[in-house]
Structure formats: C-alpha cells, structure tokens
Structure 1
Amino acid sequence: MSGTTGNLRKTVKAVGFVSVLAIAAGCAQMDRFHGFIPPEEELATLSVGSTTKDEVIALFGPPKSERGLQNNTVYYASSQFRRFGPFAPEEVDRQVLAIDFDGNDRVRNISRYTLEDGRVVVLDRRVTEDGINDVTFLAQLLGSFGRIDAGQFLGEP
C-alpha cells in the first residue's frame, strides 16, 4: 500500500505544480498592437511643401481613415492594449499621425497625437448595419407569425 500511496502523492504533486504553472501563465501580461505609424526615419523623408499626397500614400500605404481624404488630411493610427489574466484589456498607448495637405495636394503639416494630448480624432467607423432598428428577438419572432401562409404550412401546392 505504501508504494501506491507514494506514487499517488507524486502524481498529486506533479498535477498541482502543473496547475500552478498554468494559472501563473494565464495571469501573465499580454500586449496586443493594432494599426501602423510610420517610423521617424521614414517621416523625415517627407518634405513640407513639396511631397504630394500620392507620394505619401505610396510610401506609407493607404491611410487608416478615408474620411480624412475628404478634409485633405491623411491619418495613420496605432494602439497598444495590455491585458492581465481575465481582466478587460486596457489601452496603454495610442498614437495618431495626421498629415495635412494644402490645395495643391502637397504636405502642409505633420502632427502626432497621443493619449496624453486628449484630442479626439474621429476616424471612419466600419460597421455593417443589420437593418433592424431597436427590435428585440422576441418582437421579431412574434412579428413573423402573421406572415405564415397556411397553404405552405399544410403542404398544399
């Protein structure tokens, strides 16, 4: 019996150790990065007054927001989110790069905003509308009862 008890204790200790490692790994900090901001070295290649909008888009790729093109501004944005275990992710860093163009589509100004600036920059919301306006599931279900054709329900052609 003592041999079986010794093996059982070793197994319980091993399972406990693996469980503690799994819990510790689950509570580790995880960082996620979204978006793109061009590096400073590439931004230094832009020349205010001479670089065109097409050259900027060719160099850095399409902007984060198409809305800015209507206002003659191109936006690039990046965010860093930090998450600890089961807690909701928290945004710890955000950068928005705004490149303004004049009437001739030449770079007029380059601005960088961060979370500390507190400036709100509205980017495009790419949300697919479902076409349902404040109708609950139950209301949809009850509303469909009036559209049942008795002939189809009974199997008549």
Structure 2
Amino acid sequence: MIKGSRKAQGGFDLSDAPSHLIRRCQQYYGDLYAREAGARELTKQQFMLLAALEQNDGASQTALVEITGIDRSTLAEMVRRMLEKGLLTRERTEEDQRANAVAISASGRKALRSARNAADRAERQLLEALPAPDRQKFVKALREIAQAAETLAANGHERPAARPTRRRRLS
C-alpha cells in the first residue's frame, strides 16, 4: 500500500489504493472500448481472446486461460458461443485427446481486424487522460507489474483456481 491509503480512523481510502485504481482504469477502458466498438463488434473479452489466438493459433483452452487470465469456465463458455457464431474452430489436440486446440476462423479474423480499430482508439483515449510525457512511463509500469505476476505464477506461487467443493453425504 502507498503512504496515505489508510485513513486516520483506520479506514481504507480507495482513492489512494493502487488495486482499486487499477480496477477503475480497467472499467474506464471497458467503457471506452464499448463506446468505440458499438453493439455489433466483439466484446472486450472476445477481442482479447482472438488477439491471443492470433499469436497462439491452435492453443489449447488451458493455455488460453493462462495467456488471457480469463477463468476456465468463462473461457469455455466464450469459446462455445464464438464457435456458434463461426468466429473460432476447435479440434482435439494430438497430444491430449481431452484437450481442445482453438483457432480463429476466417470470420473471426475479419471481426478481429474490425475490433482492433476500436481497441486502438480506446487505448489512445485511455492514455490521453495522462500528460504526454507520462504515457510511456505508465505503460512501462504496468508492464513491470504484469511481469511480476507472470514471475509469481511461473514460480508456482499462483493462487489455485477456485474449484467447486464436493459435499459429503451424511448417512
């Protein structure tokens, strides 16, 4: 926590909490993207998934969870819906018949190109909230935080994904 994020009475001041501020920035970007993309374009998460697949075509759904940070059940539902819309293709991997390799279809590539323009405009608007000299510093700081998260995960210290608990039947 940074200095000043605790109030005198021991309360928590959200206006100084980096975690809250990052969340608010994410919400602001979501609003900018939605406005730029309009109702007919991809959602922010669909765009993120297609952008990840553009660089990792044929990735397994498990790998896509790691790449995008989208939780397993949400990603599975997104893939299902995007398959129905013809944006993706999916097939079993040769290495593991239980895993699915996901790829972008021709329609998905077209949707990605269109949505990329909206995302670029939203990204520019997001950064325009900062003075020009601070924009690259801000992106660099975010990159460093993201790298710290990747290092933590690579070292096996990530928080395990929430799994449903099984209830034992009482006899």
If the length of structure 2 is used for normalisation, what is the TM-score? 0.24
Structure of higher CA gyration radius: 1
Q: Name the structure with the higher helix share.
A: 2
More strand by share: 1
TM-score by length of 1: 0.25
